[in-house]
Amino acid sequence: MKLLITGANGRVGSALCAYFLQRGDKVIPVTRADVDLTNLPALRAFLLEKNFDCLINPAAMSAPDQCEQEPELAQRINADAPAVMAEIAQLRGVRIIHFSTDYVFAGDRAGKRRENDCAEPSTVYGRSKLAGEQKVLENAPGLASVLRVSWVYGGERPGFVDQVMAQLLAGQSVRAVSDKWSIPTALDDLCEWLACLSKSSPGGIWHGCHAGEPVSWYALAIAVQETLQAGGWLAQGANVDAQSITEMSQWSARRPIHTAMDSAKLSSHLPRPIVDWRDALRRVIEQKMGGVPAIILDASCMTPVVD
Ligand SMILES: NC(=O)c1ccc[n+]([C@@H]2O[C@H](COP(=O)([O-])OP(=O)(O)OC[C@H]3O[C@@H](n4cnc5c(N)ncnc54)[C@H](OP(=O)(O)O)[C@@H]3O)[C@@H](O)[C@H]2O)c1
């Protein structure tokens, strides 16, 4: 199979390129240096030149605050460029898998959202991503799948889980938002879900996250702490403290509160059911710690980051 993968330097795109290459598939990794997604004629010409059996599009303007400040650019990258990609996929008769987000939901009620629940985004990011979903599904009916993901972690690019691990292992306390809920997604499982969708998917919208109950960033940080302690990598000591989303004054885009998604539809399409987020988290942490039953590992091996 030959896959064209956009956003090849991004968190998800880089992991997908590595995963498919390792499986022995052919990959055309596409970065900003190859084609700027804001230039739609250049994008169309670039895609028409390439031969591929499936187009995967994780490229996006993915920072909600940047989208809020540059709404026209967000619309171009998150909606107009994917529309062109779907148009070319339709012309070629090949599958397109387009990434979207839990931020398409308003987030105003607790519980888990299904694929056909009403999407009413409250941010420029969410609106541009919803517009992208609609254009992709319209331009390549039956060939287009939209995969909504949330809180992706794991892989080479450090994210929230790595940051919490690094701080706790360094003996530093962690503060995390306790009044915003979603469900995390482990990148290695996400790659396997993609492999399945790229081979066989009737198209439409899919929710790609783990099973289990919605969790806040605070509860996720506690789960990281408990896993490190259970593995013998962390002694008691460092605190995980809750903070309110109202304290995040640096965010110009108001984040939706309840955006947990129900992935039962995707789970029933896969050869193995999607596992609970706690089991996936445990596996990823054990892999990151190398399975070493140490009391404390040197925290300098972890890279502290801002998510
Ligand atoms: N990560 C998450 O937790 C999460 C949660 C919900 C939804 N999603 C969705 O999942 C997808 C993948 O997310 P991600 O975390 O991998 O995002 P990311 O790390 O921000 O990667 C996005 C990629 O898009 C590329 N890109 C942006 N503007 C471009 C342009 N004008 N021309 C060409 N390339 C451009 C970036 O290129 P540069 O590297 O050159 O900047 C980057 O490689 C996105 O659709 C996102 O909306 C992710």
**Residues 45, 111: one domain?**
yes
**Residues 11, 112: one domain?**
yes
Considering the domain boundaries, does residue 290 fall inside one? yes
The stretch 25-30 carries a mean pLDDT of 98
What is residue 306's predicted lDDT score, i.e. its pLDDT?
31
What is residue 300's predicted lDDT score, i.e. its pLDDT?
39
**Residues 177, 59: one domain?**
no
Average pLDDT, whole number, for the chain?
Answer: 92
Considering the domain boundaries, does residue 198 fall inside one? yes
Considering the domain boundaries, does residue 237 fall inside one? yes
Amino acid at 90: Q
pLDDT at 307 over 50: no
**Residues 166, 67: one domain?**
no
What is residue 235's predicted lDDT score, i.e. its pLDDT?
85
- Taking the CA of residue 9 as reference, the ligand 1 atom at the shortest distance is 43
pLDDT digits (tens, 9 = 90+) for 169-214: 999 999 999 999 999 999 999 999 999 999 988 999 999 999 999 9
Q: CATH number of the domain that 227 lies in? A: 3.90.25.10
Catalytic residues: 125
Q: In the structure encoding, which two tokens stand for residue 214, read together?
A: 């919605």
Closest protein CA for atom 42 of ligand 1: 10
Q: Is the CB of 34 under 6 A from ligand 1?
A: no
Q: Ligand 1 centroid vs 77 CA: distance in angstroms?
A: 10
Q: Is the CB of 134 under 6 A from ligand 1?
A: no
CA distance 212 to 278: 8
Q: In the structure encoding, which two tokens stand for residue 286, read together?
A: 């054990």
Q: Do 155 and 17 meet the contact criterion of CB atoms below 8 Å apart? A: no
Considering the domain boundaries, does residue 136 fall inside one? yes
What share of the chain in percent tops pLDDT 90? 86
Closest protein CA for atom 4 of ligand 1: 150
**Residues 194, 227: one domain?**
no
Closest protein CA for atom 7 of ligand 1: 101
pLDDT digits (tens, 9 = 90+) for 212-246: 999 999 999 999 999 999 999 998 767 999 999 88
Best mutation site among 62, 84, 157 for ligand 1 pocket (most ligand atoms within 8 Å of CB): 62
**Residues 120, 245: one domain?**
no
pLDDT digits (tens, 9 = 90+) for 252-294: 888 899 999 999 999 999 999 999 999 999 999 999 998 654 4
**Residues 120, 73: one domain?**
yes
**Residues 166, 105: one domain?**
no
Q: Which residue has the tokens 């002694």?
A: 235
The stretch 96-100 carries a mean pLDDT of 98
What is residue 291's predicted lDDT score, i.e. its pLDDT?
60
**Residues 143, 242: one domain?**
no
Containing structural domain, residue 226: 160-181+215-258+277-301
Considering the domain boundaries, does residue 267 fall inside one? no
Q: Is the CB of 10 under 6 A from ligand 1?
A: yes
Task: Count the domains in the chain.
Answer: 2
Q: Is the CB of 15 under 6 A from ligand 1?
A: no
Q: Is the CB of 38 under 6 A from ligand 1?
A: yes
Considering the domain boundaries, does residue 105 fall inside one? yes
**Residues 172, 48: one domain?**
no
pLDDT at 49 over 60: yes
Q: CATH number of the domain that 31 lies in? A: 3.40.50.720
**Residues 48, 166: one domain?**
no
Name the residue among 10, 112, 126, 120 with its Cα closest to residue 78: 126
pLDDT band per the 50, 70, 90 thresholds, residue 297:
very low
**Residues 130, 23: one domain?**
yes
Considering the domain boundaries, does residue 266 fall inside one? no
Backbone angles phi, psi at 232, to 5 degrees: 80, 15
Considering the domain boundaries, does residue 265 fall inside one? no
